[in-house]
Amino acid sequence: MSRTAEALNANIDAGRPNLIGYFPLGFPTVDESVEAAIAMCRAGVDVLELGIPYSDPVMDGIVIQEATQTALENGFKLSQTFDALTRITEAVDTPVLVMTYWNPVMQFGIENFAKKVQAAGGAGLITPDLIPDEASEWLKVSDELNLDRVFLATPSSSAERVKNACKLSRGFTYAVSTMGITGARAELDVLARGVVAEIRNSRPQLAAVGIGISSADQVREVNEYADAAIVGSVFVKAYLDGGTTALEAKVRELKPDQENS
């Protein structure tokens, strides 16, 4: 059973919206990011996406790029991921997915990385630059360790590629709302609905929409046609503006109908 899907389905069955929240590990320091991640979970995110800083974050917008660069400048090392993950998962029950570009995992060793994520209580990985066609070793290891694996479907993905991403994802499929990089936008691209429709047509699979979501109205709108909304840049901005207190307030603001959940 996918821990991530179980958490999302519990809300869906109860008629509650799902909010997946991203925060970069190591920003501004490892200890502060752990504190922020725990605060987000306690404030109401249903799944936590813990981002691994990377020197070439091709999918990330300027807010997240600058945050991850700060983490790297402050000395973040990939090996710190697992202790930080343990501290988070021991403090909260929220499923935690590690969001990482694939090169660091390959350099570390795919099986070794996966085993350490599992031992630290992580639910699995989101791998934005890894396509299922090139993921044979990760598919094998994640099956053996029962880790969730989230692949992306984009507006430019062929029907066959979307079908494959849905077939091989576990937890949910990440529906990219636009062809751009992450960051808040005043209006979500209508292409998001098209990507979710493709996922629905491919096979039964949860679909979470990310990139560009910045308001409670958008989170609510996304949950009307998809299974979860993914928010990142706005949370990083909130932390920059007011630390953990502002971050918690932003989570509560963006979690629709939380008072009824």
Per-residue pLDDT tens for 156-205? 788 888 889 999 999 999 998 764 445 555 455 667 788 888 888 766 78
In a domain, residue 261? The reply is no
Among 31, 46, 49, 83, the one annotated catalytic = 49
How far from each other are the two terminal CA atoms of the chain, in whole angstroms?
23
In a domain, residue 96? The reply is yes
Does residue 198 carry a catalytic annotation? no
In a domain, residue 198? The reply is yes
Reported as a pLDDT band with limits 50, 70 and 90, residue 260 is very low
Which of 40, 58, 35, 73 shows the shortest CA–CA distance to 232? 40
CA separation for the pair 56, 80 (Å, rounded): 19
Does residue 6 carry a catalytic annotation? no
In a domain, residue 143? The reply is yes
In a domain, residue 260? The reply is no
In a domain, residue 135? The reply is yes
| Domain count for the chain | 1
- For residue 13, pLDDT over 70 is answered with yes
Structural domain for 32, as ranges: 3-255
Q: What is the pLDDT of residues 41-98, one digit of tens each?
A: 999 999 999 999 988 765 667 889 899 999 999 999 999 999 999 999 999 999 999 9
Among 46, 60, 227, 248, the one annotated catalytic = 60
- For β-strands 96-99 and 47-51, DSSP reports them as parallel
Buried b (16+ CB within 10 A) or exposed e, 85-123: bbbbbeebebbbbbbbbbeebeebebeebbbbbbebbbb
Q: Across-strand partners of 24?
A: 51
CA separation for the pair 238, 114 (Å, rounded): 31
In a domain, residue 49? The reply is yes
Task: Return the CATH number at 248.
Answer: 3.20.20.70
Phi-psi region of 225 (alpha: psi -120 to 50; beta: other; left: phi over 0): alpha
pTM, 2 dp: 0.92
pLDDT at position 72: 94
